[in-house]
């Protein structure tokens, strides 16, 4: 049977790798097999196209390219300039942005670029100028103390972690917490929804330099027009981290007040997740911040990754195709069908449903912690991740929730009918799992009890559900 180009490309690559380190080739093949056989419901994961994956495995990986297009610190970067310019062009056109910076290696890097750009634009400081000229990892404790003394209490207001915010929005364990004096806004305890009046009140009281919107575990839309009005009322720079829902913006599911790009001063994102590209980040902004953003390397970033920028160009070009809008719409339809299926079976959902790509299950209704639920589902062929819920009694490690998302299964072609079946499988596992006990005989937050026979049965059913929706159907490795 003749093999197509995709099969030939991946088979050939594995043969070359196997000639050097066969265990790596085996692990790559095993990863594809595992992903083909499991229900991937991690909201931050997806499946990149073969073209995107192949764009990362080439000679661009060999090239250093510090600087920006046309202003590199290394010679011979004309081809890197080409792919970076293409990626930036596709990003601008896709999102309707004035300026796009596609060098960040991750969402965290994109946020750091944005934070430093805002500080540099708003604050005159010799210590800041010194920091801009160096890589952030080279700053000593003395440098940090000098910077904080000169900057004063530069303040950031962002969504709290347990309400669905992200670690990079000013929390102490992250470097953003070292740069800013941070305060959080939460959600309404009764509804789990953002209360814009309370956000405005917090902004008036705290007077932040930066107001951050965006989330990693909030299952609703955010009104960015209102958030911009709040930022303007206190003279704050309005930043949106759309890493999770960028695909819904690109696919024109989030428009008007719910599209962050027309309302924010600066927008950051990852390029994987719902955008379905390679692992990486990007920054969008207007002309007033463009020069500062373009200094991301070497201020925050090391050498950009030209092979990943090439893959970003491919993925962003794919997202500009008409069929991507249908894909984005189906992500939300699937998430809502999954939520409805869970609710019918008695599950407790944060906010009672979803308007985006993710669903947050409060598993205390099943008598479990998030850690117990996560592992029990994994044993049954369902890949999720534990996540805190608002006012979580179990903290950020054990948690009380499970976050599930539909971008990856939507890429495979599953629809709303399959989401109801998926809800049934999830409920079957969680309703038959119980908390275990620790060595001292007390209830454990990690140990659990699940009949292995049931786990095996659910795993088979999950695999059977996926049979009609093959992953990378044109790639044959065997």
The yes-or-no answer on residue 273 being catalytic is yes
Is the predicted pLDDT of residue 122 greater than 50, yes or no?
Answer: yes
The catalytic residue among 18, 37, 64, 329 is 64
Instruction: Name the CATH architecture for the domain at 59-319.
Output: 3-Layer(aba) Sandwich (3.40)
Contact 257, 223 (CB under 8 A): yes
pLDDT averaged over every residue in the chain: 91
148 is catalytic: no
Among 118-122, 209-213, 236-240, 310-314, which stretch is predicted with the lowest mean pLDDT?
A: 118-122
Catalytic residue check, 121: no
Asked whether the beta carbons of 365 and 352 are under 8 A apart, the reply is no
Choice among 11, 18, 63, 66 that is catalytic: 66
- Name the pLDDT band for 2 (thresholds 50, 70, 90): very low
Q: Does residue 263 carry a pLDDT above 60? A: yes
| Residue 175 in this model has a pLDDT that exceeds 90 | no
Which pLDDT score, from 0 to 100, does residue 169 have?
A: 73
Note if 312 is an active site residue. Answer: no
Percent of the chain with pLDDT over 70: 92
Q: Which residue has the higher pLDDT, 162 or 324?
A: 324
Specify the CATH number for 323-467; select among 3.40.50.300, 2.60.120.560, 3.90.1150.10, 3.40.50.2300.
Answer: 3.90.1150.10
Catalytic residue among 279, 371, 386, 403: 279
Residue 190: CB partners within 8 Å, gap ≥ 6? none
Tell me, what's the pLDDT at 138?
65
pLDDT at 302: 81
Kindly state the average pLDDT of the residues 231-241: 95
Quick one: pLDDT at residue 134?
Answer: 57
Residue 260 has pLDDT above 60, yes or no: yes
At 398 the pLDDT is 94
pLDDT at residue 353 is higher than 90: yes
Residue spans per domain, the chain: 59-319, 323-467
Q: Which of 52, 68, 187, 270 is catalytic?
A: 270
355 is catalytic: no
Instruction: Return the minimum-mean-pLDDT range out of 121-130, 371-380, 386-395, 399-408.
Output: 121-130
Q: Long-range contacts for 376-379 (Cβ within 8 Å, ≥24 apart)?
A: 376/429, 376/430, 376/433, 376/448, 376/450, 376/455, 377/402, 377/426, 377/429, 377/430, 379/450, 379/452, 379/455, 379/459
Decide which of 82 and 300 is more confident.
82
Span 376-403, average pLDDT: 94
Q: Which of 316, 312, 213, 323 is nearest to 259 (CA)?
A: 213
Q: What is the pLDDT of residue 223?
A: 98
Question: Model confidence over 34-76: pLDDT tens digits?
Answer: 999 999 999 999 999 999 999 999 999 999 999 999 888 899 9
442 pLDDT above the threshold of 70: yes
Mean pLDDT of 80-90: 97
pLDDT at 371 exceeding the cut of 80: yes
Q: Kindly indicate the confidence band of residue 135, based on its pLDDT and cuts at 50, 70 and 90.
A: low
Helix, strand or coil for residue 190?
coil
How far apart CA 47 and CA 471 sit, in angstroms, is 9
Q: Which residue has the higher pLDDT, 32 or 138?
A: 32
> Exactly one of 273, 312, 371, 412 is catalytic; which is it?
273
Per-residue pLDDT band for 145 (boundaries 50, 70, 90) equals: low
Length of the chain as a residue count: 478
**What is the C-alpha to C-alpha distance for residues 81 and 413, in angstroms, rounded to an integer?**
36
Give the pLDDT band of residue 130 (cuts 50, 70, 90): low
Its sign, for the CA torsion 185, 190, 193, 194, is negative
* 295 labelled catalytic: no
The string of pLDDT tens digits covering residues 264-285 is 999 999 999 999 999 999 999 9
Question: What does the pLDDT read at residue 300?
Answer: 83
């Amino acid at each position: 049977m003749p093999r197509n180009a995709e099969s030939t490309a991946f088979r050939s690559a594995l043969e070359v790798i196997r000639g050097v380190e066969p265990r790596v080739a085996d692990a790559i093949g095993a990863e594809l097999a595992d992903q083909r056989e499991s229900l991937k419901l991690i909201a931050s994961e997806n499946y990149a196209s073969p073209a995107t994956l192949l764009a990362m495995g080439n000679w661009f990986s060999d090239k250093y390219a510090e600087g920006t297009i046309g202003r590199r610190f290394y010679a011979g970067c004309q081809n890197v300039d080409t792919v970076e310019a293409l990626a930036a062009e596709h990003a601008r056109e896709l999102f309707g942005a004035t300026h796009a910076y596609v060098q960040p290696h991750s969402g965290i890097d994109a946020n750091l670029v944005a934070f430093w750009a805002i500080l540099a634009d708003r604050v005159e400081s010799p210590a800041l100028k010194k920091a801009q000229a160096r890589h952030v990892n080279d700053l000593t404790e003395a440098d940090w103390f000098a910077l904080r003394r000169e900057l004063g209490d530069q303040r950031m207001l962002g969504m709290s972690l347990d309400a669905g915010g992200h670690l990079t929005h000013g929390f102490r364990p992250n470097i953003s917490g070292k740069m800013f004096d941070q305060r959080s806004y939460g959600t309404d305890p009764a509804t789990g929804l953002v209360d814009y009046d309370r956000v405005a009140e917090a902004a008036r009281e705290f007077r932040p330099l930066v107001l951050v919107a965006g989330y990693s575990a909030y299952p609703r839309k955010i009104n960015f027009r209102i958030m911009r009005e709040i930022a303007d009322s206190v003279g704050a720079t309005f930043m949106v981290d759309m890493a999770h829902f960028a695909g819904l913006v690109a696919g024109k599911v989030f428009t008007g007040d719910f599209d962050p790009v027309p309302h924010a001063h600066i927008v950051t994102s990852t390029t994987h997740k719902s955008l379905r590209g390679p692992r990486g980040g990007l920054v969008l902004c207007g002309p007033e911040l463009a020069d500062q953003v373009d200094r991301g390397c070497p201020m925050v970033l090391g050498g950009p990754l030209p092979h990943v920028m090439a893959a970003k160009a491919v993925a962003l070009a794919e997202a500009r195709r008409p069929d991507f809008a249908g894909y984005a719409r189906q992500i939300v339809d699937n998430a809502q069908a999954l939520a409805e299926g869970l609710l019918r079976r008695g599950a407790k959902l944060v906010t009672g449903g979803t308007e985006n790509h993710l669903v947050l299950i409060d598993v205390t209704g099943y008598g479990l912690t998030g850690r117990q639920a996560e592992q029990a589902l994994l044993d049954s062929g369902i890949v999720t991740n534990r996540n805190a819920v608002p006012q979580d009694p179990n903290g950020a490690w054990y948690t009380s929730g499970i976050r599930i998302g539909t971008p990856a299964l939507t890429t495979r072609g599953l629809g709303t009918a399959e989401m109801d079946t998926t809800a049934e499988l999830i409920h079957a596992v969680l309703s038959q799992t119980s908390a275990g006990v620790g060595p001292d005989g007390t209830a454990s937050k990690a140990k659990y009890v699940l009949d292995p026979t049931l786990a095996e049965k659910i795993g088979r059913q999950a695999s059977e559900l996926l049979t009609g929706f093959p992953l990378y159907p044109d790639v044959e490795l065997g």
